[in-house]
DNA sequence: TCAATACACTGAAACGTTACAGATTGTCAC
DNA sequence: GTGACAATCTGTAACGTTTCAGTGTATTGA
């Protein structure tokens, strides 16, 4: 009959949020038992377990995140680390939704951790790790020798990268096969008679820059076409810069008759540059571009596109991180997404 | 000399994360004193305060979020609630960055709380409130009579809305003046001789639908132009649907000679529809469109654009929520962003 | 000299959870 | 009847923080 002691907060007052104590009081059990019953521990009787879970469901019990986090260190948080200046727009939106889809029926929350141009990309990672703010991290703009991946690997922080590294270390990743993309693009252009091709590359330094460049180069020699160097800009540059450089290039005698572009927004600039030079898409030059949403064909129907699904990337990355947290082998959490066909406009 | 008791974890072991206890041990003070010294409580001596803060800075002390949250209920989290299907892409990206900018040097984290088409928009809000997962909430797709705003207002949860409500209740918001946008668009079109105008509206049911429609209507009578109804689609519809409906409209005898469009992506579809009907932009019809990044002029230089800055919206919304949490009056946290001029392409 | 008072600091308790080390049964073999 | 053992359940402590109710000292006023 020691009830009078603890009743103070459980019995009275309209509707506080229920805790284990509330459940313990309602079921007549101890908090420990309740805690265990809720997580299906083996030393709890079958009927007790059911009873506790029933009551918990009825009154809408939700474990207090701060309590769990303080006691166990588990945050139930996945952090998506993004560059606030250079990230592709549709990428941000789609990857967030992709991640959300996967964590929707888990206890995980998604926090967005931004960093800006001026900062060391390692800064936000250090912050997350030092403050223990997340159980898992997703990073993009991955480099062949990526200090962030190395850092987290050293400290055993679960993470997944969008894009591969090349450090001889195994970690989860999701990547789009940009080698295949660039190669397919070149083959397609060669197939329609283009022989002098230029490549608007991904940002120099990122892993997929190398992949793209290699796919482009290998396919060039395969089909016997030649490259017109276009190294003054990458898709990271401003629309204006890309446009200006493209126009410059297209006014030369040795101008390309085909382009491969690694991003949709950059392609808009390339086309503008082409037209600035008085040339016509589809007649004087063809352009194959990646895109993540179906907009380029509205822009110019002569464009040739290859689709990259960022929402899928988000889902895969989230699945990987959760898998890793769950104890799966990092090597089993790597995925590569193959590009579809180069597709022309179909009215 | 009771040191030996507590030394166990503080003195030994390489580098655990420092806590108040660590600081207390290092300074020779009690945890209470340290806690207070760090938050500039008045009952702490000036020198002690400085000493504690110095040591804290030196060893990189960071308050444990779970500890604070458990004890005080303060989460230091702002939640951005987004619809995973209908939200405009650039909106998601820009608003996140806008919010990030503002909370960058505060202890706040940004969590993204998604909800999908099938769900009641109130669901995620209920979840946040019931689980006490955030100190402040930002919502978009605001309705004149918004159940989410009402719900949070009733419970005293700090929030800000992107877009206004119309319930006679005061709460923080940031809005773009869509009345002014639509009116300006109409005036501009009238100024270049367009007399029969169609409006591609925001989603029906959202507050800014009404604003836009009213601005459009009022300016029409002001300039003596007439409306060609175009109510079968809104910017929420698919690209294909908008395109098809636009083409349909433009093949009629009483087709409009001017369009006002409330979103850039939808404008691409409108233009495609116009061209499907064999008409030419700038000659047969002019289109004024909102955009949030400078892409439409690359698309068709004949387009007339008005810029809406979502990053600014994000910043303003974050500022409002933080202000409200800080105790400012809700009425002082409302802002309206005026549209700039209608701008034509300048090569 | 004494009380009152301001000042600077402190220990214990509490937030909700889980891990640890029992405690209380009942069953069974012998 | 006893000891061993499994099956269930329980209280206490701890995670890191802030709040409450003090505890000592100086300082002041009379």
- How far away is chain A from the Cα of B302, in angstroms, using its nearest Cα? 13
pLDDT beneath 70: ranges in chain A: 1-14, 347
pLDDT for the residue numbered B346? 82
Residues of chain B with CATH 1.10.260.40: 20-63
Is the per-residue pLDDT at B304 higher than 80? yes
Q: What's the rounded mean pLDDT across residues B189-211?
A: 98
Q: Is the pTM of this model over 0.75?
A: yes
First to last CA, chain B: 80
Model confidence band, residue B1 (pLDDT cutoffs 50, 70, 90): very low
Q: What is the pLDDT of residues B159-198, one digit of tens each?
A: 999 999 999 999 999 999 999 999 999 999 999 999 999 9
Mention every residue, 6+ apart, whose C-beta is less than 8 A from residue B324: B136, B158, B159, B160, B172, B330, B333
> Does residue B67 lie within 7 Å of nucleic acid chain D, judged by its CB?
yes
B6 pLDDT higher than 80: no
Cβ-defined contact of A92 to B93 (cutoff 8 Å): yes
Are the beta carbons of A270 and A259 closer than 8 angstroms? Answer: yes
Question: What would the pLDDT profile of B144-162 be if each residue is shown by its tens digit?
Answer: 999 999 999 999 999 999 9
Residues from chain B contacting residue A60 (CB–CB below 8 Å): 130
| pLDDT (mean) for B193-221 | 98
Q: At residue B5, does pLDDT exceed 50?
A: no
Report pLDDT for A41. Answer: 85
pLDDT score at A347: 67
All CATH 3.40.50.2300 domain ranges of chain A, comma separated, are: 75-176+311-337, 178-308
Put simply, the answer to whether A239 touches B66 (Cβ < 8 Å) is: no
Q: Tell me the mean pLDDT in the region B115-140.
A: 95
Mean pLDDT of chain B: 94
pLDDT at residue B37 is higher than 80: yes
| pLDDT at residue B347, as a whole number | 67
* Whole-number CA gyration radius for chain A: 27
Q: How far is B97 from chain A (nearest CA, A)?
A: 6
Average pLDDT on B239-259 reads 97
Does the B178-308 domain belong in CATH 3.40.50.2300? yes
Looking at the domain that runs over A20-63, which CATH code has it been given?
A: 1.10.260.40
CB B171 within 8 A of CB B153: yes
Q: Which of B128, B268, B141 is nearest to A293 (CA)?
A: B268
Cβ atoms within 10 Å, residue B125: 24
pLDDT at A214: 98
Picking from A18, A64, A96, A116 by the largest number of B CB atoms within 10 A of its own CB, the best residue to mutate is A96
Q: Is the CB of A68 under 7 A from strand C?
A: yes
pLDDT of residue B4: 38
CA B66 / C1′ D8 distance in Å: 32
Strand partners, B121: none
What is the domain class of A75-176+311-337 according to CATH?
Answer: alpha beta
């Amino acid at each position: 009959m020691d009830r009078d002691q603890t009743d103070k907060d459980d019995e009275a007052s309209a509707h506080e949020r229920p805790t284990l104590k509330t459940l313990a009081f309602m079921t007549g059990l101890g908090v420990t038992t309740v805690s265990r019953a809720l997580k299906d521990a083996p030393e709890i009787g079958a009927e007790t377990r059911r009873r506790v879970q029933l009551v918990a469901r009825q009154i809408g019990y939700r474990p207090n995140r701060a309590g769990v986090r303080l006691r166990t260190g588990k945050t139930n948080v996945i952090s998506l680390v993004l560059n606030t200046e250079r990230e592709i727009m549709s990428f941000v939106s789609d990857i967030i939704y992709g991640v959300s889809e996967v964590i929707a029926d888990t206890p995980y929350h998604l926090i967005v951790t931004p960093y800006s141009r001026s900062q060391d990309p390692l800064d936000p990672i250090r912050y997350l790790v030092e403050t223990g703010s997340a159980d898992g991290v997703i990073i993009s703009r991955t480099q062949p020798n990526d200090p962030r991946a190395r850092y987290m690997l050293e400290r055993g922080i679960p993470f997944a990268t969008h894009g591969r590294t090349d450090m001889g270390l195994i970690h989860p990743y999701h990547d789009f096969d940009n080698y295949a993309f660039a190669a397919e693009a070149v083959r397609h252009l060669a197939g329609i008679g283009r022989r002098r091709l230029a490549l608007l590359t991904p940002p120099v330094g990122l892993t997929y820059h190398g992949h793209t460049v290699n796919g482009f180069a290998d396919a060039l020699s395969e089909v016997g076409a030649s490259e017109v160097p276009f190294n003054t800009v990458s898709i990271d540059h401003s629309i204006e810069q890309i446009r200006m450089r493209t126009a410059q290039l297209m006014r030369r005698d040795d101008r390309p008759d085909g382009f491969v572009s690694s991003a949709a927004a950059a392609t808009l600039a390339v086309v503008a540059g082409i037209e600035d030079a008085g040339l016509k898409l589809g007649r004087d030059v063809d352009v194959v571009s990646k895109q993540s949403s179906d907009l380029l064909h509205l822009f110019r129907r002569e464009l040739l596109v290859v689709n990259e699904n960022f929402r899928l990337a988000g889902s895969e990355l989230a699945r990987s991180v959760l898998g890793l947290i769950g104890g799966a082998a990092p090597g089993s959490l790597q995925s590569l997404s193959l590009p579809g066909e180069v597709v022309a406009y179909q009215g």
